[in-house]
Amino acid sequence: DDDDDDDANLDTPSDRGMESNGSKKKADDDNTSSKDVDGSAESNKDSSESPSTPDHAIVDAKSKAKASEMTSKDYYFDSYSHYGIHEEMLKDRVRTETYQAAILQNKEVFKDKIVLDVGCGTGILSMFASQAGAKHVYGIDCSSIIDTAKILVEKNGFKDKITLIKGKVEEVVLPHGVEQVDIIVSEWMGYFLLYESMLDTVLYARDKWLVPDGIIFPDKAVMYLCAAEDAAYKADRIDYWRNVYGFDFSPIREIALKEPLVDVVEGRSIVTNPVPILNIDILKCTKEDLAFKVPFRLTAARNDDVHAFVAYFECAFTQVPKPVGFSTSPWSNYTHWKQTVFYLPEKEYICQNEEISGDIECKPNEKNNRDLDITLNVKFHGTLSKFDGTMEYCLR
């Protein structure tokens, strides 16, 4: 894939076209909603059959207790049981074809090696690895999609080459007496790169099983921040709440401002240069490195309004003879990760060559470590506009 080879350089965003599609989080939300509706329907059905029996009340109470005991991890794994999420990820050609190129264009790296696929999903990366000549591939996933993956593996002739294990990486023991693996492959990236905290699991697998000088696919990731003009969308998603059919709904506006928007941002909307805010070497980083606070300084490329900050990331596979990579930047081809948008309370006007400075902090939410708490401290003293403030966001 020629485009993927061009993206291996993480230093500069590439200037390419963009497509449009749905979002992984939307699929997640939609599936969660449908599950809740189905659950309610089932409960109502039971109530109509035995509306006043003590036994039913006991069963209903137990069901509610069980539901209340479900952790964030339970909901996380359950959401990945639905095929719609996997369909969207598989149809993300930038994502899937980059992994395919990284593996199949480097067959000499995989020949006769033991490979671990962390969060294997439908097993597509396991099959790529086996196709590239791996001696054996072990795939681990905690969601029930792995039951379907086992069928797919057998149907495509990999039954003797791929072993799929249902469970949590932290609890699994690899079969056949395997204590080390040569290569780890994983598609762990979430929105804002770190959302859902799956990288924690990859690092655990690395420390538990990867041989010294082993290979991780991908092994590098960089996240960037820039500023954007986004008047139309901000008016629709944020400022709408100022006047809803003549009523003041502004308290909801305050809530909406705290929730970053995951959506496509066009390259022409970007007002400043992008700057790196996080650089990860997955071979060396620790879990603690994933909570960060770093300064930034953005320079305006033109005179324009600034409505929001925009984050995106790039990943690369650099441990191989033919390195490849991809970008989720506003200038690149569409991916299901899109971009992450952090709206300012009010627009600011910036002139060419003026600077916006500050720092950005990111850490896991205390109640649900798969969510992210993100804080932006911003200082801007321009010719026509001034802003000093702190904005707190939660990506969930």
Give catalytic residue positions.
187, 196
Q: Are 77 and 32 in contact (CB under 8 A)?
A: no
**Cα–Cα distance, 118 to 137 (Å, whole number):** 11
- The single-letter code of the amino acid at 196 is E
Length reported for the chain: 396
Q: Are 368 and 220 in contact (CB under 8 A)?
A: no
- The single-letter code of the amino acid at 381 is H
